[in-house]
Structure 1
Amino acid sequence: MTLVDVSSISAGLFITGAIFIMLFFGLLSFGVLKMFELKYRAGTFSFVGAVVSGVVFGIILKTWYV
């Protein structure tokens, strides 16, 4: 196993990634929870929100950091 140099990652990219990762997986897990509670509408909205946040994250990465 080797060490990975992360010194070239900017603070803005790190914060943006951390926020979107928490948002995406939070919405995804909330959607699964609501589906188990048989609240399909709230679960579907959470899944759609996770997909939308993933797309927005991709657009932001492509626009600002690539």
Structure 2
Amino acid sequence: MFILTLVDVSAISAGLFITGAIFILLIFSLLSLGVLRMFQLKVRAGWYSFAGAVVSGAAFAVILNQWFL
């Protein structure tokens, strides 16, 4: 059984929140677009979308490491 507790998020800066929101929207949009393209049998466009999601994830990790850690 899980115990739910409150988490204080008031220490998160606005820049970190906005950066995280933008990259999460970008990464998951590219992943879903890749899946959609694969179902449409546009394999090359699907792989490009998957690659874009991976590159965006790597860029997100670099930006977090440089600016926020």
TM-score with structure 2 setting the length:
0.95
**Aligned residue for 2:35?**
32
Identity within the alignment, %: 70
Q: Which amino acid aligns with 1:37?
A: Q
Q: Which runs of 5+ in 1 are unaligned?
A: none
Greater Rg over alpha carbons, structure: 2
**Aligned residue for 2:60?**
57
Measure the CA separation in 1 of the matches of 2:35 and 2:25: 15
Q: Which runs of 5+ in 2 are unaligned?
A: none
Q: Which runs of 4+ in 1 moved over 2 A?
A: none
Q: Which amino acid aligns with 2:22?
A: I
Q: Which amino acid aligns with 1:50?
A: A
The CA RMSD measured in Å over matched residues stands at 0.3
Corresponding pairs, count:
66
Equivalent position to 1:3, from 2, 6, 12: 6
TM-score with structure 1 setting the length:
0.99
